[in-house]
């Protein structure tokens, strides 16, 4: 699956990394529905299968931790309501190397291109999801 993934500026600074086409990254990927994050980021529509997760300390208050399995990876989503089964979601995807629920899989993805526009909070990459980390 080809998607746009927001890589926060602090991730690049912390890793002292400059991204190039063809780079492989591994991280948890998070999904944020339209209106819940930076409005300047382009939105994606993804289809997958949602599975509710148990509550955990990193979940947003009043939200519902959810795993969404998509073609090539898994997304973590703090859903506004309980959801299970097939879903079509519109929002943004972000690289997250800070925290995720216990045993939540990381996704491997390859940078296919970089946005020419630098977002104040990071860089937007065109990515091809390559599957779950072994």
Domain presence at residue 129: no
Domain presence at residue 128: no
Confidence at residue 24, expressed as pLDDT on a 0 to 100 scale: 92
Domain presence at residue 100: yes
Domain presence at residue 39: yes
Domain presence at residue 111: yes
Q: What is the mean pLDDT of each run of 10 residues along the chain (134 residues)?
A: 86 75 93 75 91 95 97 97 97 90 95 73 87 82
Domain presence at residue 94: yes
CA distances from 99 to 27, 47, 48, 95, 111 (A): 10, 24, 22, 11, 22
Domain presence at residue 103: yes
Q: Rg (Cα) of the chain, in Å, rounded? A: 14
Confidence at residue 116, expressed as pLDDT on a 0 to 100 scale: 60
Domain presence at residue 83: yes
The parent domain of residue 107 ranges over 2-56+63-122
Please give the tally of structural domains in the chain: 1
Question: Kind and range of the H or E element at 12?
Answer: helix 9-15
């Amino acid at each position: 699956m080809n998607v746009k993934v927001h890589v926060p500026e602090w991730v690049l600074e912390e890793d002292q990394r400059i991204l190039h086409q063809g780079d492989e990254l591994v991280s948890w990927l998070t999904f944020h529905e339209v209106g819940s994050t930076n409005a300047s980021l382009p939105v994606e529509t993804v289809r997958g299968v949602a599975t509710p997760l148990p509550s955990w300390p990193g979940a947003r208050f009043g939200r519902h931790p959810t795993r969404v399995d998509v073609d090539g990876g898994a997304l973590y989503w703090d859903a506004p309501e309980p959801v299970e089964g097939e879903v079509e979601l519109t929002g943004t995807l972000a690289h997250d190397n800070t925290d995720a629920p216990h045993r939540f899989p990381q996704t491997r993805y390859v940078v296919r291109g970089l946005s020419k526009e630098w977002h104040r909070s990071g860089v937007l990459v065109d990515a091809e999801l390559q599957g779950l980390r072994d």
